[in-house]
């Protein structure tokens, strides 16, 4: 039974920032499809949290870097909900080991680029084509695409160059799809989180604690929380900044603010 609600697909929503975004969009009245690589048992608590906000949920165990998995996911969303209104490209990985750009391997580069850039790029292509079809069938349809990039799109970390290049690429991807999809009324936005407390940053927690406390790298001197990012995604998905596309909201506690 289809609910008639707007439907959001959030990649990497099994935990962390993606889960917070999925919960927030559920609270906004969307049904939510979650795409992640974990087996379903490992994300059952996450799905309950999303469902607890009133959403119908669908779990797609799929790898965003696989073309077959992307197609399978969109087919499952169509089968379950019959529509897709919001795509959030959130899934992403850091390099398995941080390595100096003078030594890092091509293998790590390929892995990070496939998951963080190539996968979202072609998932967006497929989702955008589906949104265009929906728009042609229903002039009132209003889609939206949100890319979770990073301050690493503009902040150079030579100890994880492939990650920075993937996020800089995603930033151009935001502009490209925004330019192409304007005629169909589909805005494309980018969020650039700074230092957010999730599993991804668990291994560098003490290092960043020190940088925040002793070096004063932030203007707002605390770790970011997944909810800080999620609220911005909800604002975008609601259409609060409708006369705007290809734009970036940086959620970094002032990290990238130039100061003297």
Name the residues that contact ligand NAD, by CB under 6 A: 11-12, 14-18, 35-38, 63-65, 90-93, 115, 148, 150, 193, 195-196, 198-201
Angle, vertex CA 27, rays to CA 26 and CA 29, nearest 5: 65
Q: Is 216 left (phi over 0), alpha (psi -120 to 50) or beta?
A: left
Helix (H, G, I), strand (E, B) or coil at 248: strand
Question: Which residues, 6 or more positions from 193, have their beta carbon under 8 angstroms from its beta carbon?
Answer: 17, 148, 150, 151, 224, 228, 229, 251, 252
Decide whether 73 or 134 has the Cβ nearer to ligand NAD.
Answer: 73
| Contact assessment for residue 81 and residue 2, using Cβ atoms and an 8 Å cutoff | yes
User: Exactly one of 59, 109, 121, 163 is catalytic; which is it?
Assistant: 163
Helix, strand, coil percentages, rounded to 5, for the chain: 50, 15, 35
- Compute the distance between CA of residue 170 and CA of residue 246 in angstroms, rounded to an integer: 11
**CA distances, 6 to each of 34, 81, 110, 229 (Å):** 14, 9, 35, 20
Decide whether 39 or 100 has the Cβ nearer to ligand NAD.
Answer: 39
- Compute the distance between CA of residue 100 and CA of residue 24 in angstroms, rounded to an integer: 37
Decide whether 132 or 229 has the Cβ nearer to ligand NAD.
Answer: 229
Whether 208 sits among the annotated catalytic residues: the reply is no
Decide whether 172 or 242 has the Cβ nearer to ligand NAD.
Answer: 172
Decide whether 134 or 194 has the Cβ nearer to ligand NAD.
Answer: 194
What is the smallest separation between the CB atom of 138 and ligand NAD, expressed in angstroms?
30
- Half-sphere exposure in the Cβ direction for 1 (13 Å, CA): 2
What is the smallest separation between the CB atom of 76 and ligand NAD, expressed in angstroms?
14
What is the smallest separation between the CB atom of 146 and ligand NAD, expressed in angstroms?
11
What is the smallest separation between the CB atom of 137 and ligand NAD, expressed in angstroms?
29
Catalytic residues: 163
């Amino acid at each position: 039974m289809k609910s008639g609600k707007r439907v959001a697909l959030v990649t990497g929503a099994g935990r962390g920032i993606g889960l917070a975004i999925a919960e927030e969009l559920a609270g906004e009245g969307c049904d939510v499809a979650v795409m992640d690589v974990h087996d379903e048992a490992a994300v059952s608590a996450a799905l309950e949290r999303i469902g607890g906000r009133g959403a119908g949920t669908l779990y797609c165990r799929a790898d965003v870097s696989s073309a077959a998995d992307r197609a399978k996911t969109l087919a499952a969303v169509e089968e379950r909900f019959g529509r897709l209104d919001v795509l959030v490209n959130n899934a992403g990985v850091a390099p398995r080991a941080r390595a100096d750009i003078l030594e890092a391997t091509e293998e790590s580069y390929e892995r990070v680029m496939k998951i963080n850039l190539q996968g979202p790029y072609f998932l967006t292509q497929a989702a955008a084509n589906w949104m265009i079809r929906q728009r042609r069938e229903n002039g009132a349809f209003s889609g939206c695409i949100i890319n979770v990039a990073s301050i690493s799109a503009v902040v150079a970390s030579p100890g994880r160059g492939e990650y920075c290049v993937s996020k800089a690429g995603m930033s151009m991807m935001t502009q490209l799809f925004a330019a192409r999809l304007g005629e169909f009324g589909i805005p494309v936005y980018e969020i650039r989180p700074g230092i957010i407390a999730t599993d991804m940053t668990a291994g560098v927690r003490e290092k960043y604690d020190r940088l925040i406390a002793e070096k004063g790298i932030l203007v707002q001197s605390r770790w970011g929380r997944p909810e800080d990012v999620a609220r911005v995604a909800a604002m975008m998905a609601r259409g609060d900044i409708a006369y705007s596309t290809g734009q970036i909201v940086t959620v970094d506690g002032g990290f990238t603010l130039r100061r003297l």
